[in-house]
Amino acid sequence: MPKTVIINESTLKQIFTEQIIKESDLSKAEISKIVKDSINGDKEVKDALEKKVKALVASAVNVLFRTLWQRRNFYEDEIKR
């Protein structure tokens, strides 16, 4: 009777990654170098990555300022003392 094994997505990804690396006879460092070279060499990928980073930074700054604005009484009272 077969057994049922439940694993989460991150474990499955790790197993697939290890299997692919094992089958390709490449080290993680070599694969990382290939990926970095392909990202740096491709202008479209670099531009898309830059846009995503800018959107993430803008979102983080927005949350920061919103939080500071909502709690301004807390630090204004401390400064005024």
pLDDT beyond 90 at 81: no
Do 65 and 59 meet the contact criterion of CB atoms below 8 Å apart? no
Give the global pTM: 0.45
pLDDT tens per residue, range 5-19: 888 888 888 888 888
Q: What phi, psi does 9 have (nearest 5°)? A: -65, -40
Distance of CA 45 to the CA centre of its chain: 16
Section 38-44 average pLDDT = 79
The counts of H helices and E strands in the chain are 4, 0
pLDDT of residue 52: 93
Residues near 49 by beta carbon (within 8 Å), at least 6 away in sequence: 39
* CA distance linking residue 23 with residue 26, whole number of Å: 8
7-16, 39-48, 66-75: range with highest mean pLDDT:
7-16
Do 39 and 49 meet the contact criterion of CB atoms below 8 Å apart? yes
